[in-house]
A and B are shown apart, each in its own frame.
Chain A
Amino acid sequence: MKLDAGLGHQLERVPASAREAEAMGFDGVRTAEMNHDPFFPLLLAAEHTQKVELISSIAVGFARSPMLLANIGHDLNAYSKGRVTIGLGSQIKPHITKRFSMPWGAPAAKMRELVLAMRAIWANWYDGTKLEFVGKFYNHTLMTPAFTPENKEYGAPKVILAAVGPHMTEVSGEVADGMIIHPFSTLPFIESVTLPAIERGLAKAGRRRADFEISYSNFVVSGRTEEEFKKSKQANKERIAFYGSTPAYRGVLESIGVGDLQSELNTMSKQGRWKEMGLLITDDILNEFAVVGEPKTIVPEMQRRYGAFVDRSSASFDFVDRDERKAMIAQLRGA
């Protein structure tokens, strides 16, 4: 299993934290898109590392035009000598329309088109294929030499999609190089919904599972002392409760027979009762989402549960000291 580290967003600190991630043996570094640009840290990480993969996990796809993403992906991949993966997610309608002021429509179909549009732009730049992308959501039909990048040695970055539901998951299998399974997933959900959807997508495109990378970062509850362990448990229960309040994730709770919890959590979230919501997540529910135990049990349990289908994960293992963390990273990577 490959393992990635999270990269911060304070740009002056990024060079040091990227170098540290590489020194610790991580395969990749990842940024998320919350309150900062998700690509700037990857640019600096490219400058200050040699080996690690550079992954946006995720950038909000529908907040940007495919042309911009194609250009950003090209520049980062060229600069890092082919180490970039553009991870995209759809976000949800209110954020796209009311935060980003962009149009929203049929997310899985639109995401499929967004990825195909990026690929059409790259095919134009790298292979000279005429740019004639006329879709339902995006049109790209104009490109001139002045706007075509000249440094083509490393070509296009990989593109992966974050997906929860079966439609988006299938799209990732069809058009992306991999997918990011949401941390808020259970084994029964992954086995009954996610993996079959990926297979359907792969089959549509005539691709093999080996050409596709599945990324999944399970919750981890651990600690060196009883007190740390308790804290970790509570924090994770609250996070699970937070995700569980989202209507779109109801299917995940249904997979372990607690679908009704979703409406209850949703009501409580609207009343701001975040702490209480955590109390509704029993130890049994927690175990479905998280690997729970003493530090030394974590890696073997991750491998046992997820090793068969997960190609890469991200984990900080920040509950142990640096040496032990380094050992855990090596153990998980099978190095």
Chain B
Amino acid sequence: MKVDGGLGWELDKVGAEAKALEDLGYSGILTAETSHDPFFPLVVAALNTQRVELMTSIAVAFARTPMVLANIGHDLNAASKGRFILGIGSQIRPHIAKRFSMPWSAPAARMREFILAMRAIWANWHEGKPLEFAGRFYTHTLMTPFFTPTNNEYGAPKVFLAAVGPLMTEVAGEVADGVIIHAFTTEKYLRETTLPSLEKGFERAGKSRKDFEISYPVFVVTGKDAKAIEEAKVATRRQIAFYGSTPAYKPVLDSIGVGHLQSDLNSMSKQGRWEEMGQLITNDILEEFAVIGAPSTIAGQIKSRYGDLIDRTSAAYANIPRDDRQKIISELTQ
């Protein structure tokens, strides 16, 4: 199993941070897109590392055009000598329309077309195919030599797609190279909803599971002693309650028979009752979402529960000593 570590946004520090993550044994380095550009830290990381994969997890696709992302993907893959993974997600309508001032509609169908458009652009640049992409959402029919990158040695990056619902998951299976599963997922949901949707996508594209990577962060509750583990439990309960208040994630709660919680959590969130919300997440529910225990047990638990299911996970575990973290990474990546 590959293990990824998160990279910060402070550009004067990310070079050293990336190198430290590589030295710790991580397989990949992840950035997210919140209040900063998600690609800049990876440009610096590309020139300061040799081995690790560099991945956005995720960049907001619909905030950009396929052409701009195709160009960014090309440049980062060339600079990292083929180590870049373009991880993208849809975000939600208010953020696309009101924050980014970009169009929103039919997210799964639009995302499918977005990825196909990038692939058409890359096929034009890297293989000289004519660019004649005329879709329902995107049109890319103009390209001249002047705007074509010439450093084609490493070609296109891999594209991973973040998905929760079955439609977006099926799109990932069909047109992406990997799927990024939301941390708010249960093993049952993964096996009963995610995998079958991916399989449908694979079938449509005539590809197999081994051509594809499943990335799943896994909630981990651990700590250097019993007290720290208890504290981590409280924090994770609250995080799960927060995600559980989102209507779109109700099917995940349904997968373990507690779908009724969603409306409670939703009303409580509107009243700002975050602490109480955490108390609704019982030990049984917590165990459905999280791997819990002393640092020495974590890798074994992740492997036995998810080893046959996922290809990569992410492990930050900021609340345990560096040595313990390194042991977990090394045990997982073996």
Contact = CB atoms under 8 A, between A and B. Distances in A.
Contacts of A9: 75
A138 B100 CA distance: 9
A71 interface: yes
Contacts of B141: 98
B102 interface: yes
B117 A101 contact: yes
B102 A65 contact: yes
A150 interface: yes
A35 B149 contact: yes
B87 interface: no
B64 A64 contact: yes
Contacts of A141: 98
Give the size category of B's interface with A: 35 or more
Interface stretch (A37-45, A249-257, A277-285): A37-45
A117 B101 CA distance: 10
Given A68-B64, A98-B140, A100-B68, A11 B99 contact: no
Interface string A116-150: 01000000000000000000001111110011111
Contacts, number: 127
Nearest to A44: B43
Interface string A46-85: 1100000000000000011111100110111011000000
Contacts of B46: 11
A36 B65 contact: no
A103 B142 CA distance: 15
A65 B101 contact: yes
A139 B99 CA distance: 8
Interface string A232-274: 0000000000000000000000000000000000000000000
B44 to A, nearest CB: 7
B78 interface: yes
Contacts of B43: 11, 40, 43-44
Interface in A139-185: 139-143, 146-151
Given A36-B71, A139-B98, A140-B98, A99 B140 contact: yes
A192 interface: no
A67 to B, nearest CB: 5
A97 interface: yes
A72 B72 CA distance: 13
B34 interface: yes
Given A35-B149, A35-B150, A37-B75, A67 B100 contact: yes
Greatest chain B CB density within 10 A among A35, A47, A76, A150 is at: A35
Nearest to B10: A151
B235 interface: no
A34 interface: yes
Interface residues of A, number: 49
B99 A63 contact: no
A11 B78 contact: yes
A94 B142 contact: yes
Contacts of A94: 142
A34 B142 contact: no
Contacts of A79: 11-12, 40
B183 interface: no
A102 interface: yes
A36 B149 contact: yes
Given A11-B79, A37-B72, A65-B101, A98 B139 contact: yes
Contacts of B36: 71, 74-75, 149
A139 B103 CA distance: 11
Contacts of A140: 98-99, 101
Given A34-B146, A147-B35, A142 B95 contact: yes
B143 A75 contact: no
A12 interface: yes
A225 interface: no
A47 B101 contact: no
A28 B94 CA distance: 39
Contact of A12 (B47, B66, B67, B76): B47
B269 interface: no
Contacts of B94: 142
B97 interface: yes
B93 to A, nearest CB: 10
Contact of A35 (B11, B64, B147): B147
B37 interface: yes
29 contacts: A10-B151, A11-B46, A11-B47, A11-B75, A11-B78, A12-B79, A35-B71, A36-B74, A37-B68, A40-B39, A40-B76, A43-B40, A44-B47, A63-B65, A64-B68, A65-B64, A65-B102, A67-B100, A68-B63, A68-B64, A75-B11, A99-B142, A100-B67, A102-B65, A139-B101, A142-B94, A149-B35, A150-B35, A151-B10
Given A99-B143, A146-B35, 14 more contacts: A11-B47, A11-B75, A11-B79, A37-B68, A39-B40, A43-B44, A44-B47, A63-B68, A75-B36, A97-B139, A99-B147, A100-B67, A139-B97, A147-B34
Interface of A: 9-12, 15, 34-37, 39-40, 43-44, 46-47, 63-68, 71-72, 74-76, 78-79, 94-95, 97-102, 117, 138-143, 146-151
Interface of B: 10-12, 15, 34-37, 39-40, 43-44, 46-47, 63-68, 71-72, 74-76, 78-79, 94-95, 97-102, 117, 138-143, 146-151
